[in-house]
Structure 1
């Protein structure tokens, strides 16, 4: 039970870490890697921005490694929370929002429509400055109002 709480708490914490990383790293000194993600019609399957998946995967893998040595411990479940957030991020951001993969084209849920709208507002700024709405799973409620009935 404790390990489940650790995993869920890590997952939730990752939203805050992702928000801060997006605002201060991706739209800061890491703009070089993130810039192509803000260009409309970027023609490649992969973006430089995809390097951030590796950045977040490395701590998760290290936590798995140290979380089973010498026996299973909380570090493993922190790594698991990061992994679950990474999977959610991929499915929501790359599949549902940006539709890089045409897996769930027919989803018309109020929550996902609100997320897409918030992300669209974020992407209206093509430069690294003046950005808004840096969250991924938790965005301001105003983006859901027109869809929640």
Structure 2
């Protein structure tokens, strides 16, 4: 298979993961697995880790699964898919856990329009402490209204 196909699948997988993150966040995390996600909205624990981190582990396992399929010559495009999921997971970690929630004290001075919009949208998501009435379930694609000053 041509290299450009692998690159295209990597890029498509990365962007499809934004939809998967939105879908999982809205219908799974704020749905039947709220018990794992609620500690992310209500800091009722002293641990650096949250039950919510299980979702990160889930997608890591999915990514590894595609690497294994590729390694065992079962799915030639598995490497591109696995890398796309991994790249999105790394981006999610950098943007959500480090930039927004400051789990590590880095990227504090990022102050461009996009960074501000991401923070505003996430702040609106976290204003709801319960699983209902949520908004802004995505991460990288932010509604235009949060770009306004």
Alignment TM-score > 0.5, same fold: yes
Measured in 2, the distance between the counterparts of 1:112 and 1:25 equals 26
Deviation of 1:41 (Å)? 7.1
Count matched residues.
146
In the alignment, which of 138, 141, 145 is matched to residue 142 of structure 1? 145
Q: Which residue of 2 aligns with 1:26?
A: 29
Gapped runs of 5+ residues in structure 1? none
Q: Which residue of 2 aligns with 1:133?
A: 136
Q: Which residue of 2 aligns with 1:113?
A: 116
Deviation of 1:68 (Å)? 2.2
Deviation of 1:42 (Å)? 4.8
Measured in 2, the distance between the counterparts of 1:32 and 1:14 equals 23
Deviation of 1:97 (Å)? 0.6
Q: 1:86 to 1:109 in 2, by over 3 A?
A: same
In the alignment, which of 47, 52, 55 is matched to residue 55 of structure 2? 52
Measured in 2, the distance between the counterparts of 1:42 and 1:13 equals 33
1:83-134 deviations in whole A, cap 9, x for unaligned? 0000000000001111111021121121111001000000000000000110
After superposing the two structures, state which structure 1 stretch, 106-115 or 16-25, moved more.
Answer: 106-115
Q: Which residue of 2 aligns with 1:99?
A: 102
Is 1:68 matched up with 2:71? yes
In the alignment, which of 4, 20, 26 is matched to residue 7 of structure 2? 4
Is 1:85 matched up with 2:88? yes
Deviation of 1:135 (Å)? 0.6
Measured in 2, the distance between the counterparts of 1:2 and 1:79 equals 14
